[in-house]
Structure 1
Amino acid sequence: MTWISPTPTETDGPLTGPDRPMLEAELDYQRATLLNICAGLTAEQLAERPIPSTNLSLLGLVRHMAKVERIWFRKRTAEQDIEHLHNFEARDDTDFVVIDASDAERAMAQLVEEQGLARAAVSDLDFDLAVDDGHGDRLSLRRVHVHMISEYARHNGHADLLRQAIDGATSR
């Protein structure tokens, strides 16, 4: 049987009120958007690089977002002593470059797992907590959420274009 990327549950959140629930809900919306863009595709389609001028694939984006979820929320913010994903130290975009369709199901599950672990890692932390950005600066957990929303939004735009090039689907 051919594995097909599953469709996630839709997310929704508050439109007014304190910033934390709104930012958490927007981040969850962006997380679900990437999963929705990938939904219904085979492993081979997720690994496809349909735009010749770039090395991007949906599978590469999924691997990349799992990596940055782990880095920002679990390693930098919660200071968990865990390994990086996808040869982070090599700084060669291994998450985008080393793509194998046989890894798609595991990579999708890993992204969903990292999203849940990221939520749990920071759920009890103060939104004003100062976090090391990995380059010598500090930013608040609030700002980390803003950064991750923009990271997902940027890559969701890439994912939209990739999905359309793969099978013509738009606005997922």
Structure 2
Amino acid sequence: MAADLLSSLDLARRDEPTPQLDVHASLLDWLAFQRHEFRRKWRDLSPEQLAAWSVPPVELSVLGLIRHMQQMEHHYLTWGLGGGERIETYGDDDYAGGSAATVEEDVRLYLAEVARADAAIAAMPALDAPGRGSGAPLSHLLIKIIDEYALHSGQAHMLRFAALGRVQR
């Protein structure tokens, strides 16, 4: 059940990464932090609440953001860095698609993509190394995905409150 999968995630509050001079390590710390914060927005939500378009008429749900971030992880990191086949798992149906019945599979796909993206990052020799898929350097792609998480975590935060019907931090 999706509740078991979601309850297995570490959703404890974390502090922002500590400042450091190693830019590579700092970017990886910020990526880990932003991914974690994005996942924290899922806590306390049932599959129905995850899939709800809780701010009508906006066709957007927390689940839609999970699906979107799976595609962003693939585009910018897995494919962008590692090359191979570029896959659009959901196509244009990421934000508005999904349902309570697809939550578990969508979350599994997202988590698997993050693992593949981490492997692609680990295979890069330096921040200025170009990705085999996009040709963009690792540094650019890390900054882009961190920005994607910051944007969509904010959206997920508001959608979470709307789905719960209250502010619950």
TM-score of the alignment, normalized to the shorter chain, above 0.5: yes
Return 104-113 or 12-21, whichever deviates more.
Answer: 12-21
Matched, 1:29 2:36: no
On the 8 A contact 1:160/1:170 being kept in 2, the answer is: no
Match of 1:148 among 145, 161, 168: 145
CA contact (8 A) 1:55 1:96 kept: yes
**Is the Cα–Cα contact under 8 Å of residues 34 and 156 in structure 1 kept in the other structure?**
yes
Structure 2 equivalent of residue 81 of structure 1: 85
How many percent of aligned residue pairs carry the same amino acid? 25
Alignment match, 2:155 = 158
Q: TM-score, normalised by structure 2?
A: 0.86
Name the amino acid aligned to 1:116. A
Letter of the 2:71 counterpart = K
RMSD of aligned Cα (Å)? 2.2
After TM superposition, the structure 1 = structure 2 runs for residues 68-147 of structure 1, keeping only pairs within 5 Å, are 68-81=72-85, 83-87=87-91, 93-125=92-124, 126-131=126-131, 139-147=136-144
CA deviations over 1:52-81 (Å, ceiling 9, x no partner) = 131110000000001110111111211033
Normalised TM-score (structure 1): 0.84
Give ranges in structure 1 of 5+ residues lacking alignment.
Answer: 88-92
Q: Which runs of 5+ in 2 are unaligned?
A: none
Deviations 1:145-165 (A, max 9, x none): 011111000001100110111
User: 1:72-103 deviations in whole A, cap 9, x for unaligned?
Assistant: 1111211033533113xxxxx31112221101
From 51, 54, 72, the counterpart of 1:47: 51
| Change beyond 3 A, Cα 1:51–1:9 | closer
Q: Give the aligned partner of residue 8 of structure 1.
A: 10
Tell me, yes or no, if the aligned pair for 2:61 and 2:96 is still in contact at 8 Å.
no
1:90 alignment counterpart: none
Amino acid at match of 2:141: V
Indicate if the aligned counterparts of 1:31 and 1:152 stay in contact, CA closer than 8 A. Answer: yes
Instruction: Give, in angstroms, the shift of residue 139 of structure 1.
Output: 3.0
Instruction: Identify which range, 34-43 or 155-164, moves more after superposition.
Output: 34-43
Count of residues paired in the alignment: 163
Equivalent-residue separation in structure 1 for 2:97 and 2:36 (angstroms): 24
Pick from 48, 67, 80 the counterpart of residue 71 of structure 2: 67
Task: Spell out structure 1 runs of 4+ moving beyond 4 A.
Answer: 9-14
User: Do the aligned residues in 2 keep the contact of 1:14 with 1:21 (CA within 8 Å)?
Assistant: no
